[in-house]
Homo-oligomer: A and B are copies of this chain.
Amino acid sequence: MARKPGSRAEITGPRLREAALRLFARHGYAAVSMRQIAAEVGVQAGALYQYIDDKQGLLFDLMRAHLEELLADWAASSPPAAPAPARLEHFARFHIRFHLTRPDAVFIAYMELRNLSPAHFAVIEALRRRYEDELEAILRAGQEEGSMAVPDTKLAAMALIAMLTGVNTWFREGGRLSRERVEDIYVDMVRKAVAG
């Protein structure tokens, strides 16, 4: 189809997603209007509906893209077979790095679940569960190896992920501690928390 003047689909789509991510993270999904998003993108509110089904579908797309990137990056960075403690350290470092570089998406993926339709919620929960299972598998391997003492691997996985993700609530680049230092301290706590 011939391009008309003012037609910039290739950049409006991504800009829409970036603006929505930033605004949802800053003010909350329910508090952000389509008019605000449109103003950030530089178009009128009505024009957004060329790219999304509705506001809730936009939220879903942002969450799904985030979690799929998380799983893909993890799969790409996963080391081959190794002792469980080494795999646990790798997981902790990966988790902190991934989450610290995407604070907006992380925030949304954890805070806006209530605003998804039941069908969309189920998809997001399944993706999150797949990620939790990756950590749980490491803990189970450690338990079986005898290198870890983890009475309940599911509970421990939830606890460790909550601790690691919590770094996003207080860490600021250029603050008292460097990212590397923070990573080292968290790794140490994670390792000891499940030690045998």
Contacts and interface: CB of A to CB of B under 8 A. Distances in A.
Interface of A: 26-31, 111, 114-115, 151-152, 155-156, 158-163, 165-167, 169-170, 177, 182, 185-186, 188-190, 192-195
A123 to B, nearest CB: 19
A185 B157 CA distance: 12
15 contacts: A28-B29, A28-B114, A28-B115, A158-B166, A158-B169, A159-B186, A159-B189, A161-B166, A162-B165, A162-B166, A163-B163, A166-B166, A189-B193, A190-B193, A192-B195
A54 to B, nearest CB: 15
What is the oligomeric copy number? 2
Contacts of A28: 28-30, 114-115
A27 B114 contact: yes
A194 B182 CA distance: 15
Chain A contact surface mostly:
helix
Given A155-B182, A192-B192, A192-B195, 13 more contacts: A26-B114, A27-B114, A28-B28, A28-B114, A30-B30, A31-B114, A155-B185, A156-B185, A156-B189, A159-B163, A159-B186, A163-B166, A192-B194
A186 to B, nearest CB: 7
B169 A155 contact: no
A177 to B, nearest CB: 7
Contact of A163 (B160, B188, B192): B160
Closest 5 CB pairs of A and B: A162-B166, A30-B30, A163-B163, A193-B193, A30-B31
